[in-house]
Amino acid sequence: MVAVHAHPDDESSKGAGSMAKYVREGAQVTVITCTGGERGDILNPKLADDEEILADLPAVRRTEMAAAQRVLGVDHEWLGFVDSGLPEGDPRPELPEGCFARVSVEEGARPLVAAIRRLRPHVLTTYDENGGYPHPDHIQCHRISALAFDRAADPEYAPELGEPWEVAKMYYINGFSRRRFQGIADFLRGRGTPDEQLEEMAQRFPGGADRLVTTRVDISDELDIRDAALRAHATQVDPEGFFFHIPNDVLRESHWATDDYELRTSRIGVTLPETDLFAGLR
């Protein structure tokens, strides 16, 4: 299995539990990170003024990625592109010259094709057309993943990048949705412990705009591993913040202790819905 992500920390906030699950079952799982997160902000307020971190944030993020990798038990590779940052303001500034989002999709896909042909995965996970959320690097991650999925299998394309390899299944990660947050909120309200913050969070997602969920992977036993991987990205994840708002026991009791995916493309026959990214391959 290969999971393609835009920045270090994305692998821990999107699909970490299922990756850890498959590692424990004996699968080879490789995270490929497109950029080094060089232009990321420090999102943990407790570290925002740490001078050592501010002096070399890219190095810190590499160290954090290595720590999260150890927690999850995955292999890891950098694709080598430069973080685009998240431009803000009106008018919105241009993306920096040479950043990942300004690279042509063809150029961006080439090293991923080479990695796919070398690693020979059966399953590839990535983001949807909107990047999960519209960060330019997430959208570009989707674009190069979709192209590499096709190009890696094409014997006429770039033979210097290795022998052709057909990935059997490509999934989009659907980690955040109105259905998920509302389902947990309804569970809490039903047992008499309503969570207004969670209900407000659910309302931020437009009604009827959720992506299709074809595959829900049970990660009840991997929630603590996921949390440890998130905490490994100390500059990016506030240990008292959003990712830890819902207690793991609530996720288990409400039957939302899952990683949710959309099967976008399959080269094998499938029966939907699924509970396993490797369904049909075992």
The answer, yes or no, to whether residue 214 has pLDDT greater than 90, is: yes
* Four-CA torsion 250, 254, 255, 256, nearest 10 degrees: -60
Q: Name the DSSP class of 278.
A: T
Q: Say if residue 150 carries a ligand binding annotation.
A: no
Asked if residues 39 and 85 have their Cβ atoms less than 8 Å apart, the reply is yes
Distances (CA, A) of 203 to 181, 245, 260: 9, 16, 19
In this structure, which topology does domain 2-174+212-266 adopt according to CATH? Rossmann fold (3.40.50)
Per 3-state DSSP, the chain is made up of helix, strand and coil in percentages (nearest 5) of 40, 15, 45
Q: In the predicted model, what is the mean pLDDT of residues 140-151?
A: 98
Q: What pLDDT is attached to residue 26?
A: 97
The answer, yes or no, to whether residue 75 has pLDDT greater than 90, is: yes
| Nearest by Cα to 168 from 260, 281, 5, 274 | 281
Q: Name the DSSP class of 99.
A: -
Tokens of 253: 């009791």
Q: In the predicted model, what is the mean pLDDT of residues 133-142?
A: 95
Q: Say if residue 138 carries a ligand binding annotation.
A: yes
| pLDDT confidence band for 69 (50 / 70 / 90) | very high
Q: Say if residue 245 carries a ligand binding annotation.
A: no
* Tens of pLDDT, residues 219-263: 999 999 999 999 999 999 999 998 999 999 999 999 999 999 999
| Nearest by Cα to 78 from 100, 103, 56 | 100
DSSP 162-217: -S----SEEEEE----HHHHHHHHHHHHHTT---HHHHHHHHTSPTT-PPP--EEE
* Tens of pLDDT, residues 92-118: 889 999 999 999 999 999 999 999 999
